[in-house]
Amino acid sequence: MKLSDPLFGDVELRPIDHVLLRGNPTHPALDGRSGCHDFSELEQALARLAGWLAGFGLERGARVASWIAKGPVAALMPLAAPRAGLVHVPINPLLKHAQVAHILSDSGAALLIGTAARLDTLGEGDVPSGCHLHPEGDAAAAMRGGRG
């Protein structure tokens, strides 16, 4: 689909999860504590993360929350969820368990990905029934091509 923009002329509209396909595959796209990743590597990791999310068999449009610090999983979740047909609900990693419980309940999240330490702070009643918890390490392993 094309959109005509007065500043940029004709612009081709693409889904958000295609953003990594716009960069030169061999150029750096993400540089941080986990190392430097080029666009091609990130696209492959995105595809694996989206496949991992899709593997849960959630209904299209289901909410997937993440309660994690900055890193590759946090960077790719906003792209992987839509690719898997899901809606990403980012949760500020500085929030406490009671605030997170409210967000999970209010959003109707079916899945919460969080660091093990954060997930351990959630008590009985903090996680709505039907919301499954998964450690960030499982998502990271899936991105690398391992089992999560």
Q: Where are the domains of the chain?
A: 2-143
Q: Confirm if 115 and 136 have CB atoms less than 8 A apart.
A: yes
Q: Is 2 helix (H, G, I), strand (E, B) or coil?
A: strand
The confidence score (pLDDT) of residue 6 equals: 75
Q: Confirm if 126 and 101 have CB atoms less than 8 A apart.
A: yes
**Alpha-carbon span 55 to 47, nearest angstrom:** 12
The confidence score (pLDDT) of residue 18 equals: 62
For the entire predicted model, the pTM comes to 0.84
The confidence score (pLDDT) of residue 43 equals: 87
pLDDT confidence bin for 146, thresholds 50/70/90:
confident
Buried b / exposed e along 17-29 (16+ C-beta atoms within 10 A): bebbeeeeeeeeb
Provide the CATH number for the domain formed by 2-143 in this structure: 3.40.50.980
Looking at the predicted structure, is the pLDDT value of residue 24 above 90? no
Top pLDDT among 18 and 6 is at 6
Mean pLDDT for all residues in the chain: 87
